[in-house]
Structure 1
Amino acid sequence: MATIKDVAKAAGVSVATVSRVINKSPKASQSSIDSVTKAMNELGYRPNAAARALVSQSTNTIGVLVGDVSDPFFGTMVKAIDKVAHQNGKHLLVGNGYHSADDERRAIELLINNRCDALVIHAKALSDQELIDFSKEVQGLVIINRHVPELEDRCVYLDNHKGAYLATEFLIRQGHEKIACITSSHDIEDVNERIGGYRQALADHQIPLSDAYIESGEPDNDGGEDAMMHLLTKGIEFTGVVAYNDYMAAGALSILDENGLDVPSQVSIVGFDDGFIARYVKPRLTTVRYPIQMMAEKAANLALELAAGDAPTEPEVMRYSPTMVKRDSVKALD
């Protein structure tokens, strides 16, 4: 494999000149650029990215931490960040955190060690203090889907409490009072906020329900199936269901169907996120829209601005508001 010394020898210039050409230094003459480029092509030489970063202090890379890139929610998020990266001549380096503090920490350290120009971090297990410490180390670090008060100007997040409140209140306005909640078993703030929104809506409408109406599971189809099965096994009477996300709602739909309960004529259900699956289950899912694409684009642009030292002069409100998407899985009680 050709080295930078081989290129310098073939081009008849010094190693320093080759380095200037590779790193697009204005000090490199056109004749040097031509001879070095020709030698690199003939030798099949590819500049070492890490070495270039040491000289230029830039890798043209945006680092992204997600929970699990195989989750369609995070796929949408990564695609939106990649769009911004492409517009700015950047590439992506993606790490998975799996809602584990150790995995999140290792992934962030890997992104930092790879000298990413900016970081968009979706971390649920790390403490606020650790994220604050990382933010001191990386000027262009932005946190998405989480609010850390000390990093107010670097957090792009959703009002989860309001989202669950909207979903629950929508069922209440359709005449439902016995409303169950199937939620994620993960110990993260999203879960607490959405349960809080569910309970607040019930309280505001003077509907007393016990905690037996709340069941949890993994935030996927299987978890939705498990949570719904537990609700049915307990023999709780309910006519409405608020789900943590669309995938749990889809799993719940399948269990209701297997047990001869028709949606929406016997049970109405509301999801959360408005992912692709919401439009393709039967019946099409009424849900709460999570504007993750818009939020991810905002987070990526903000991370690049901060990395370049161009922080917004006026503080922006970066708490996004969810909205209802009404489809076919809810029916008003007679």
Structure 2
Amino acid sequence: MATIKDVAKEAGVSIATVSRVINNVGKVGEKTRSNVIAIMNKLGYTPDANARALKTQKSSTIGVVIPDISDPFFSSLANGVEEVASSKNMQMLLSTGKMSAESELKAINLLVEQRCDAIVLHSKFLSDDVLVSLSDKIPGLIFIDRFIDEVSDKCIWLDNFEGGKIAARHLLALEHKNVAFINSNYDIDDPKLRLGGFEEIVKSFDLSINSKLKVNNEPTLKGGELAAQELLAQAENFTSVFAYNDAMAIGAISVFEDNGYKVPNDISIIGFDDVLLSKYSRPKLTTLRYPIAEMANHAAQRAIDYSSNDVPLKSELKYIPSLVKRESTTRLIRG
């Protein structure tokens, strides 16, 4: 287990400098600060004093780390944790990971400093080794939307691979053989797993996705717009699209409609997540329901149990997305 001395040695600075970075006090150059934080991340170091405080000074707070508070998906996650906190007369503290390993570690340490006994963590950028080390130090740390075999009892996760398979089966059942895939450009597991499951089913029908019809962009409304523009620019035939999430799907629909294509008559499209907006898009979006609020409830309760040294009730930790049929997909109309 890494110590503050190990961090100081690796970073080539004094222990006092590392302490100032940890406590965010004193004058430390930005380059030095960034380097020390990077070394802490690399070594999986959590300040011992904070870890001891977490174990010895119980509080009535539960922490949650999400990447982005503006994203409806992550807002649902936070709300799910808050529901459990409120039912137990606990306060919820929210910290953001901002889509980087360095920021995720900062967010975790902030909650530890605030003596959160229980933490629900959405992490996509910290390594498995670092997260396992953190789990050893923070008994009430529960991972959501992440599976790590070494700490599988602390993981509440969604089977994204199966989600991709469900989406493919739906489109193929509607006789769509020329399928396109709009994916996230983030280098994380979820996009790879969703595409992997989708392609497995497509291949089982002796079909394949044209490589020109697999495009990546930011997993946002704007990213969906840009991805759809790229698909149309390829001048390749496709009748259906599987989008990484609902935001990308809705962004893509606006581009298809603006270019004279009717959804779903000309192009069927399916999203992923089932955020609130999907019910109000035009057409209403067919999607895969990601039960994130339910998962967050589960994760919060499990975090509280572990932080109190209680044995959590035995339960299924893996969730399977479910198909929500609405108006953006239909059977292929053959000319």
Q: C-alpha root-mean-square deviation of aligned residues, in Å?
A: 1.6
Q: 1:109 maps to which residue?
A: 109
Q: Displacement, 1:210?
A: 2.7
- Structure number with greater Rg is 1
Q: 1:268 maps to which residue?
A: 268
Quick one: percent identity of the two aligned structures?
A: 40
Q: 2:10 maps to which residue?
A: none
Structure 1 Cα separation of the partners of residues 271 and 202 of structure 2? 17
Q: For residues 286-319 of structure 1, what are the alpha-carbon distances to aligned partners after superposition, in whole Å with 9 as ceiling and x for unaligned?
A: 00000001100000000000011112364x3301
Query: Equivalent residues in 2 for 1:228-307 (5 A)?
Result: 228-307=228-307
Q: 2:161 maps to which residue?
A: 161
What is the DSSP-based 3-state SS (H/G/I as helix, E as strand, rest coil) of the residue aligned with 1:79?
A: helix
Q: Displacement, 1:55?
A: 12
Q: Displacement, 1:67?
A: 1.0
Which residue identity is paired with 1:96? T
* TM-score for both structures, normalised by structure 1: 0.82
Q: 2:146 maps to which residue?
A: 146
Q: Displacement, 1:56?
A: 7.5
What is the DSSP-based 3-state SS (H/G/I as helix, E as strand, rest coil) of the residue aligned with 1:143?
A: strand
Gap change, CA 1:290 and 1:236, over 3 Å in 2:
same
Gap change, CA 1:264 and 1:113, over 3 Å in 2:
same
Q: For residues 254-311 of structure 1, what are the alpha-carbon distances to aligned partners after superposition, in whole Å with 9 as ceiling and x for unaligned?
A: 0001100000110000010000111111000000000001100000000000011112
- Following TM superposition, the consecutive aligned residue runs of length 4 or more in structure 1 with deviations greater than 4 angstroms are 53-56
Q: 1:118 maps to which residue?
A: 118
Q: Displacement, 1:179?
A: 0.5
What is the DSSP-based 3-state SS (H/G/I as helix, E as strand, rest coil) of the residue aligned with 2:106?
A: helix
What is the DSSP-based 3-state SS (H/G/I as helix, E as strand, rest coil) of the residue aligned with 1:125?
A: coil
The question of 1:227 aligning with 2:227 is answered yes
Structure 1 Cα separation of the partners of residues 62 and 211 of structure 2? 43
Q: For residues 167-206 of structure 1, what are the alpha-carbon distances to aligned partners after superposition, in whole Å with 9 as ceiling and x for unaligned?
A: 1210100010000000100001101101101111111111
For structure 1, which segment, 159-168 or 143-152, has the greater mean C-alpha deviation from structure 2 after superposition? 159-168
Structure 2 Cα separation of the partners of residues 131 and 56 of structure 1? 22
Equivalent residue pairs, number: 282
Structure 1 Cα separation of the partners of residues 179 and 68 of structure 2? 30
The question of 1:204 aligning with 2:201 is answered no
Query: Equivalent residues in 2 for 1:166-205 (5 A)?
Result: 166-205=166-205
Q: Displacement, 1:332?
A: 0.3
Q: For residues 10-32 of structure 1, what are the alpha-carbon distances to aligned partners after superposition, in whole Å with 9 as ceiling and x for unaligned?
A: xxxxxxxxxxxxxxxxxxxxxxx
Q: 1:44 maps to which residue?
A: none
Q: 1:35 maps to which residue?
A: none
What is the DSSP-based 3-state SS (H/G/I as helix, E as strand, rest coil) of the residue aligned with 2:233?
A: helix
Which residue identity is paired with 2:77? M
Structure 2 Cα separation of the partners of residues 272 and 185 of structure 1? 15
Query: Equivalent residues in 2 for 1:311-322 (5 A)?
Result: 311-312=311-312, 314=314, 316-322=315-321
Q: 2:15 maps to which residue?
A: none
Which residue identity is paired with 1:252? A
Q: Displacement, 1:114?
A: 1.3
Contact 2:66–2:97 (CA<8 Å) still a contact in 1?
yes
Q: 1:100 maps to which residue?
A: 100
Structure 1 Cα separation of the partners of residues 222 and 265 of structure 2? 24
* TM-score for both structures, normalised by structure 2: 0.82
Q: 2:7 maps to which residue?
A: none
Contact 2:199–2:208 (CA<8 Å) still a contact in 1?
no
Gap change, CA 1:54 and 1:255, over 3 Å in 2:
closer
Q: For residues 197-248 of structure 1, what are the alpha-carbon distances to aligned partners after superposition, in whole Å with 9 as ceiling and x for unaligned?
A: 1111111111122322111110010000011100100111100000000000
Which runs of 5 or more residues in structure 2 are unaligned? 1-49
Q: 2:39 maps to which residue?
A: none
The question of 1:327 aligning with 2:329 is answered no
What is the DSSP-based 3-state SS (H/G/I as helix, E as strand, rest coil) of the residue aligned with 2:311?
A: coil
Gap change, CA 1:313 and 1:275, over 3 Å in 2:
closer
Q: Displacement, 1:166?
A: 0.7
For structure 1, which segment, 230-239 or 205-214, has the greater mean C-alpha deviation from structure 2 after superposition? 205-214
Q: Displacement, 1:148?
A: 0.6
Which runs of 5 or more residues in structure 1 are unaligned? 1-49
Gap change, CA 1:305 and 1:54, over 3 Å in 2:
closer
Structure 2 Cα separation of the partners of residues 227 and 272 of structure 1? 16
Structure 2 Cα separation of the partners of residues 174 and 55 of structure 1? 55
Structure 2 Cα separation of the partners of residues 274 and 134 of structure 1? 32
Contact 2:180–2:210 (CA<8 Å) still a contact in 1?
no
